[in-house]
Structure 1
Amino acid sequence: MLGLVEPTGCGIGGDLFAIVWDAGDKKLYGLNASGRSPRSLPFSYFAENGLTSIPPHGPLPVSVPGTVDGWFELHAKFGKLPMADNLAPAISYAEQGFPVTQLVAYYWGRSTKNLSKFPGFNETFMPGGKAPAEGDMFRNPRLAKTYRAIAQGGRDAFYKGEIARKIATYMEENGGFLGYEDLASHTSEWVEPVSTNYRGYDVWELPPNGQGIAALQILNILESYDLASMGRTSPDYIHLFTEAKKLVFEDRAKFYADPAFNEIPVKELISKEYAAKRRQLIDPVRASKRLEAGNPALERGDTTYLTVADAEGNMVSLIQSNYRGMGSGMTPADLGFILQDRGEMFSLKEGHFNQYAPGKRPFHTIIPAFVTRDGKPHMSFGVMGGATQPQMHAQIIINMVDFGLNLQEAGDAPRMVHSGSGQPTDEQMTDGGYLSLEDGIPMETRRQLRQMGHSIRFNSGLFGGYQAILQDSDSGVYFGASESRKDGQAAGY
């Protein structure tokens, strides 16, 4: 349904990640449903065509869409209703239409400036030659037809049937490389979530190729400080958080990539010992301008988030995305959806962990999160928004654990976002980046942060979109929270 009504954030042309608490097994499961790059696109192509980075739109950043396979993997392991029943409401709304909401209309209009030049986009997403405005009724009969084919034929209808052939033909006709065999050979991967303990709470993330462990690294570095005594809007806390983020994001730029192509030191990166070493690099009164990634010793051995919990105690933390805006702009045939542009996140630097290679999963920003306490489920949550996500995951935990905020207050509290760190796509931080602070951070705090060497911007950051469910371990009662900055809601029945 979200892929239909919020094509600005996700769709079946994108990828999916999920963490699931199974009440029967009393265990967390992790699913990496991200797709791989086209096998027919060699690394040499980019240099031969004068490219130093992968463009954000068009055919080159398109990787295999993993969402549909992710749905069916989750359904096979945990589902109860027939998939046709699950898809029926979305099919109905796609055929009959729905009113476009304010925020979706805004982002839709912004995306059309870049994407309307790509074949198929206008026919599906610009009825009457323009993007839908707030309150306009929008129909997508092409997507309804695609959903119906998936409901009847399963995941193979998408990856091995007519849909796959249409995608491959469209890409070939429009200068792309994603082919039928890329789709037919696609598989998701069940992975073990990883965690760190923060003041008695086990915070869980998925390992790379996503960026989830960055939140764990930030929490590990900050655990030794008495944040509660500093205060949530104090310059001391905001400075320490920002400096911890800078350190972690240098590791993120160097190490986070597809583990099928690299030996990534996840265990070492999220260890308390490594955090203690990195913590020593923080100057308590001065902002850093340039940092290097650490050297952990190896021991051999744009986005939609949702969370749901049921009466049996099962909880799902799930995130889907087409990546930048509505995706690549590539809108195949009459299928009703846009292919993602996640391949933009590869590095074109030889030897980099995240270097582009055929059949490789790119670095990913979308991350679901989960918290357990004493082995019991405590909270399922996520925060949409690119590189904002691990920063917000850590801030949500700190707001609740250190500053005593409840589930909704933890999301409503003013946020800070640091930008300008080194990136897995080769960008380097040379000037310390900049710090964006929401309204509610006192002016005196901003002045002191400037005096400490931080570059401050007002309300200029991507502050993310938060959703969460918390379960009371004694009563079993669920508490829901939703974002005040964008569309979203908490609902129980």
Structure 2
Amino acid sequence: MSGSFSRSQSVRKPGVTATSGGVVAAQHALAAEAGAQVLAAGGDAVDAAVAVSFAIGVLEPWMSGPMGGGAMMLWREDEGRAYAVNYGMCASEALDPAHYPLAGTGKATGDLFPWEAVVEDRNVIGGSSVAVPGTVAGAAEVHGRFGRMPWADLLAPAISFAKQGMLVDWYAALIIASSAQALSRDPDAAALFLDQGTWPKIFGWTAQSELRLDQSAMAATLTRLAEAGPRDFYEGDIAQALVADVTAKGGFLTAGDLASYRADWQAPLHIPFRDGGLWAVPSFSAGPTLADAVARWQQDYAAAEAASPQAHVARATALRAAYEARLAGMGDHEAAKAPGCTTHFSIVDRQGNMVAMTQTLLSIFGSRTLSPQTGLMLNNGIMWFDPEPGKPNSLAPGKRCLMNVCPVIGEAPGRRFALGASGGRKIMPAVGQIAGHLIEQGMTLQDAIEAPRLDVSGGDVVIADERLAGAVTGALAARFPTATAQRLPFPYAFACPAGVMRTGDVNSGTTETFSPWGDGVAEPLS
């Protein structure tokens, strides 16, 4: 035997097309279905986004949730304009940087960032890693401005899912097992996700033996949030419970932090791109880095050459340069050492309104810590900051977190799209390349998301989809250290995108091919 292995399988995800109704593309099909039902009930893209945001926080409790943060882009068809909303996390005003002394080992933390390790991993795990959350404020802000349906109705699907409890299938069991050791450090997280505080809960092998998580505490919190309104999360009973629980676990979150938090409307960053363009979130996101990379691409190769090996080299070169500029000026030194805890969904309604929304707890399972009174997983947003003082992104009280989220609204001749992804620093290269496939090469959304791509975000090595092996990888290897990787359900070597597109009056949507739960779902029409 030669020892080599050649795969002959081809995997595709069909996506969905709706000739007159809206489409929701999300990393969990049940959340997408909840959003599609909201569209069918008369809601617009913003209403559907609120429903999906809360539903997916129940269905993927390790990826996002009310205690997270993120950003979104909106397109309002009647106005012909884009809006940007940043609802990222920030450090508590009461935070004491002295609480995070460097361990002095010379080693980096073992999570997403190559910061020097902090004593007891206080910036990574536990209550002291929790930042002020923004997801609820972001959802409430866009709902108050553009929503049509009552707030309580939009939380109903999430409440129903939480009362039922998340089904632990093979994929959920795999995710839980990957973090079981860290989850075992918090008794409340261990009680929810582990057996006997140590072993991951394993899915049942038959329909009669199915296993579901007990999310009753989360259901009660969401019910309160539906009835009392979103400000209860920041100023009411929910806020009081969150502050008490985070404080008990050694965190700095205060009632004042929550009461003063507001989502931030921002003027979108417009990025000219060949015969089209992109709108992105302008600050505390990957939007400026995307603009840098796209500008370099257009200088370095012609649109007609976009599929050539030379264009792949030009894209890799531009991404490296754009990240070097980001690291020097913005202070984001994420190195993608572990899977990011992020989810993205994109929505288009029958009128052509769009939402591209990304939300995250930062690490997988966030701080690996649960708020027992609310049933919510807590973020570890403090890890976004460099624990060494005097750096562009050094830890400080009240400081906003610099995120790698990159939701965009895009235009190509005759069509518009909403796009984003999960995957930490892998997000921006994926969004840029998929947008390029749509704008430069005129691909369908399905083909653009399934097309092989590069990741140039984790250091000196360029990672190429193994389907690019040959002329492309040869040209890359002549310039850079180059490796190939498979597209797999776990772990992700590349980002996990979700997008929707509108061509004329026809909407379509799809997600990453290898996302086990992700799918595009069309609005059911009567």
Q: TM-score, structure 2 length as denominator?
A: 0.77
1:386 corresponds, among 424, 438, 442, to 424
Higher RCO, 1 or 2 (CA under 8 Å, sep at least 6)?
2
1:444–1:49 CA distance, 2 compared to 1 (3 A) = closer
Change (3 A) 1:46 1:138: closer
Amino acid at match of 1:440: R
Q: Following the alignment from structure 1 to structure 2, what is the Cα–Cα distance between the partners of residues 463 and 184? A: 38
**1:462 pairs with 2:500:** no
- Tell me the residue number matched to 2:451: 413
Give the Å deviation of 1:154. 1.2
1:133 to 178, 181, 202: 202
Aligned to 1:219: 294
Q: Report the AA paired with residue 128 of structure 2.
A: L
Which piece of structure 1 moves more, 382-391 or 437-446? Answer: 437-446
Mapped contact 2:348–2:500 kept (Cα < 8 A): yes
1:185-224 alignment runs, 5 A limit: 185-224=260-299
Matched with 1:492 is: 522
2:404 is aligned to: 365
CA distance in 2, matches of 1:446, 1:52: 33
Higher mean C-alpha deviation, range 202-211 or range 135-144: 135-144
**One-letter amino acid of the structure 1 residue matched with residue 439 of structure 2:** V
Partner of 2:108: none
RMSD (Å) for aligned C-alpha atoms: 2.4
Shift of 1:152: 1.0
Equivalent position SS for 2:277: strand
Q: Which amino acid aligns with 2:272?
A: N
Q: Residue 112 in 1 paired to residue 180 in 2? A: yes
* The 10-residue stretch of structure 1 (173-182 or 8-17) with the greater mean CA deviation from structure 2: 173-182
Measure the CA separation in 1 of the matches of 2:476 and 2:299: 21
Tell me how far apart the structure 1 counterparts of residues 143 and 236 of structure 2 sit (CA, whole Å).
20
Shift of 1:351: 3.6
In the other structure, the counterpart of 1:2 is: 56
Which runs of at least 4 in structure 1 moved beyond 4 Å after TM superposition?
A: 48-54, 127-130, 227-231
Q: How far apart in 1 are the matches of 2:314 and 2:260? A: 46
> Does the CA contact (< 8 Å) of 1:21 and 1:377 recur in 2?
no
Structure 2 letter corresponding to 1:202: G
Of 475, 479, 483, which aligns to 2:508? 479
Q: What residue in structure 2 maps to residue 451 of structure 1?
A: 478
Shift of 1:140: 0.6
Q: How does 1:279-358 map onto structure 2 within 5 Å?
A: 302-358=341-397
Native 8 Å contact 2:127 2:246 kept in 1? yes
Q: Which letter does structure 2 place at the counterpart of 1:243?
A: T
Cα contact 1:14–1:321 (8 A) shared by 2: yes
Deviation at 1:392? 0.7
Q: C-alpha separation between the residues in 1 aligned to 2:124 and 2:102? A: 18
Cα 1:125–1:180 shift into 2, 3 Å: farther
Please say if residues 257 and 362 of structure 1, whose CA atoms lie closer than 8 Å, have aligned partners that are also in contact.
no
Q: For 1:24-103, what aligned pairs fall within 5 Å after superposition? A: 24-47=78-101, 52-53=116-117, 55-103=123-171
Q: Percent identity?
A: 26
CA distance in 1 between counterparts of 2:195 and 2:78 reads 47
SS at match of 2:127: coil
Query: Corresponding residue for 1:438?
Result: 465
What secondary structure sits across from 1:381 in the alignment?
A: strand
Separation in 2, partners of 1:79, 1:160: 22
Equivalent residue number for residue 180 of structure 1 = 255
After TM superposition, give the deviation of residue 466 of structure 1 in Å.
Answer: 1.4
Q: Which amino acid aligns with 2:186?
A: F
State whether residues 11 and 337 of structure 1, in contact with CA within 8 Å, keep that contact through their aligned partners in structure 2: yes
Instruction: Work out the CA distance in 2 between the residues paired with 1:420 and 1:48.
Output: 23
1:165 corresponding residue in structure 2: 240
In 1, the alpha carbon distance for the partners of 2:371 and 2:412 equals: 46
- Number of positions where the alignment pairs a residue of Structure 1 with one of Structure 2: 435
Using structure 1 for the length normalisation, give the TM-score: 0.82
Q: Is the 8 A contact 1:9 1:303 kept in 2?
A: yes
1:219 CA displacement: 0.9
Q: Which residue of 1 is the match for residue 7 of structure 2?
A: none
Secondary structure in structure 2 of the residue aligned to 1:335: coil
Amino acid at match of 2:456: H
The C-alpha deviation readout for 1:143-193, integer Å capped at 9, x for no partner, is 100001101111222111222222222222222212222112211111111
**Structure 1 residues 101 and 199, CA, compared in 2 at 3 Å: closer, same or farther?**
farther
The answer on whether the counterparts of 1:142 and 1:336 sit within 8 Å (CA) in structure 2 is: yes
Amino acid paired to 1:28:
A
Q: Which amino acid aligns with 1:111?
A: S
1:418 offset after TM fit, Å? 1.8
5+ residue gaps, structure 2: 1-54, 105-114, 204-209, 333-340
Alignment match, 2:111: none
Aligned mates of 1:29, 1:231 — CA distance in 2: 30
User: Does residue 253 in structure 1 map to residue 338 in structure 2?
Assistant: no
Tell me which residue corresponds to 2:74.
Answer: 20
Could you tell me how far 1:368 is from its partner in structure 2?
A: 1.0
For residue 371 of structure 2, give the secondary structure of its aligned residue in structure 1: coil
Q: Distance in 2 between the 1:339 and 1:18 partners?
A: 21
1:267-293 per-residue CA deviation (whole Å, 9 max, x = no partner) reads: xxxxxxxxxxxxxxxxxxxxxxxxxxx
Q: Which is worse superposed, 193-202 or 122-131?
A: 122-131
- State the distance in 2 between where 1:228 and 1:377 align: 18
> Contact 1:58/1:328 (CA < 8 Å) preserved in 2?
yes
Three-state SS of the structure 1 residue aligned to 2:85 is strand
Give the distance between the partners of 1:468 and 1:73, measured in 2 at CA. 23
How far does residue 462 in structure 1 lie from its aligned partner after superposition? 3.0
Secondary structure of 1:60's match?
helix
Provide the C-alpha distance between the structure 2 equivalents of 1:377 and 1:192, rounded to a whole number of angstroms: 22
Instruction: Find the residue that maps to 1:120 and give its secondary structure.
Output: helix
CA contact (8 A) 2:159 2:222 kept: yes
| 1:143 has 2:143 as partner | no
Shift, 1:420, TM fit = 3.3
Equivalent position SS for 2:452: coil
- What's the offset of the Cα at 1:12? 1.0
Q: Kindly indicate whether the alpha-carbon contact (under 8 Å) linking 1:303 and 1:322 is maintained by their aligned counterparts in 2.
A: yes
Q: What secondary structure, in the 3-state scheme, does the structure 1 residue paired with 2:419 have?
A: strand
